[in-house]
Structure 1
């Protein structure tokens, strides 16, 4: 195990804090584009649902690291907004599979384009190799952090 200088670890913490603060602000803005009543933290949930197509609530809760009760309440709110639906799991009649509705997909995709455009503008002057390294290192950090 490598012992990193404390100032280096503090610099990582500082930069991640700044990134997360900005990300929350952008997520609020994008969440409102998906639906005016959407909670800001729901954007990440919609992103996971968009990526997986269909997922069981228990699997999604484990992936996101949140309790089933909390997730169930969030899903219920998304259902009431017409963005998410529950379908019976064909492999387990006691379980449900969650997915975006057609309207949820359309709204999410339209809002996500704005976020991706912002990323493109931010990274447009970066060499491709740097963007690839950044993505790889963020993935490595995320995989090992939790």
Structure 2
């Protein structure tokens, strides 16, 4: 029998008329992820506007990835985020028009281009990222560093599963 999650009773209920039952742990996970994702979307919108008033919230994640990896092909970005090439192209075009990214020929394949964050894009992004990190530090000030590391590890593990 699994552990009680958020005081919801036993780990499994019999379910309707002899059904297979409900895993409260997974219901709790779904509920908490839904709240987390809704708040994360709202936060991404705010951060995107802080980087540039015309920046789409979804494009903020592209800046995160480009800051970490220096440069990448659009197809690599699309694969990483699990979106289509058209979506990435539209977002990159908007970032390029705002002066936050630039494209350059890929030396390994002249038909392709590499997307790179500009110096201005990096400065704007890092200012916002650092402010966000400081908010995390304040919100989790009463957490042990090992708990923060464990949360990061578990989220990484969840993200890696979502990729495959």
TM-score range, shorter chain: over 0.9
Query: Larger helix proportion, structure 1 or 2?
Result: 1
Is 1:56 the counterpart of 2:73? The answer is yes
- How much has 1:69 moved relative to structure 2? 1.2
TM-score with structure 1 setting the length? 0.94
The higher-RCO structure (CA 8 Å, 6+ apart) is 1
Counterparts of 1:63-142 in structure 2 under 5 Å? 63-142=80-159
Query: After superposition, what is the alpha-carbon deviation per residue over 1:28-50, rounded to whole angstroms, capped at 9, x for unaligned?
Result: 11101100001111111110111
**Structure 1: gaps spanning 5 or more residues:** none
- After superposing on structure 2, the runs of 4+ consecutive aligned residues of structure 1 that deviate more than 6 Å are none
Aligned residues: 143
Aligned-pair Cα RMSD in Å: 1.1
TM-score with structure 2 setting the length? 0.84
Helix, strand or coil: the match of 1:114?
helix
Question: Which is higher, the Rg of structure 1 or of structure 2?
Answer: 2
CA distance in 1, matches of 2:90, 2:39: 26
- How much has 1:123 moved relative to structure 2? 1.4
